[in-house]
Copies of this chain bind each other. A is one copy, B any other.
Amino acid sequence: MTTHRFDAAIALKPDSSERDVFHGETSAEYGNMVGPFGGATAATLLRAILDHPALLGSPVSLTVNFAAPLADGAFTIGARPVRTNRSNQHWMLELCQGELPVVTGTAVTGLRRETWSATEERPPEAPAPEGLSPQQPPEGIAWVSNYDIRFVRGALPDSGSAESADSRSTLWVRDAPPRPLDFPALAARCDAFFPRVFLRRGGYVPAGTVSMTAYFHADTAAVAAQSEEYVLGTARAQRFGNGYFDQLAELWSRDGTLLATTHQIVYFKG
């Protein structure tokens, strides 16, 4: 059995003496313009939690703050379960290179139990992915090649694109080559939408995620049930200004289950 490149990219080694410390290395295959794809970094932090011997339950929420550019090479993650309750557990996260934290975060994991349920949000309209063309990976952005992304609307603008009044993108996404869905893969896809300001401005603008939060609505069984199927994602912004904009996104299963909702605040110039 060969290891999928996503698993290789987010793999960690537990420290030999400290229970809350893990060692990893950035992967060129999941590189972005500067440093690694933020979604891979979020997935790596979640990997540390899932590998931790004291883990209780499955992911409920994850917040990741990108404090500085991650350099190519080795890093250390501290994943500390600071409070373990009867049905949930609170985590503090820190990814360091040298002495300084480069990424910080928090997470909540919890035991899931059956309750009253309802989905109020509606999935976006989308034709089947099989009838849509895969995105051609933009040059110099390695991580995109590891995803089969098929835009329903709001594709990455090219040099001839006009400004748009609407920042929404809707897309199908799965790993390339396909890989069964799990929480780290779902966390990574929360960051699979290019910065919304590109659509509004009709082209490239310097931009980077500052903080990202994901809420996982699906339990372990619902995530595993997706197997290698496409996930339907939709993202939009609410306000741009003063050097920042926000982004809301939803990730839906092909059969209409809301798997995760996610938000980020993004720095931009221009």
CB pair A118–B239 under 8 Å, yes or no, is yes
Q: With a CB–CB cut-off of 8 A, which chain B residues contact A219? A: 242
In the complex the two chains form, what is the Cα distance from A246 to B117 in whole Å? 12
- Integer count of this chain's copies in the complex: 2
In the complex the two chains form, what is the Cα distance from A60 to B244 in whole Å? 8
A110 proximal to B (CB < 8 A): yes
Interface size of A by CB at 8 A reads 63
Q: With a CB–CB cut-off of 8 A, which chain B residues contact A26? A: none
CB pair A238–B104 under 8 Å, yes or no, is no
CB pair A100–B83 under 8 Å, yes or no, is yes
Q: With a CB–CB cut-off of 8 A, which chain B residues contact A117? A: 239-242
CB 8 Å contact bits of A199-227 with B (1 = contact, 0 = none): 01100000000110101010100000000
In the complex the two chains form, what is the Cα distance from A258 to B239 in whole Å? 7
CB pair A108–B65 under 8 Å, yes or no, is yes
CB pair B61–A120 under 8 Å, yes or no, is no
CB 8 Å contact bits of A38-77 with B (1 = contact, 0 = none): 0000000000000000000000110101011000000000
Q: With a CB–CB cut-off of 8 A, which chain B residues contact A68? A: 83, 85
Which among A61, A105, A270 has the greatest number of chain B C-beta atoms within 10 A?
A: A61
CB pair A83–B110 under 8 Å, yes or no, is no
A141 proximal to B (CB < 8 A): no
CB pair B213–A239 under 8 Å, yes or no, is no
In the complex with contacts A101-B90, A236-B120, A115-B242 CB distance below 8 A: yes
The 6 closest A-B pairs by CB, nearest first: A117-B241, A67-B83, A121-B238, A67-B90, A112-B242, A63-B63
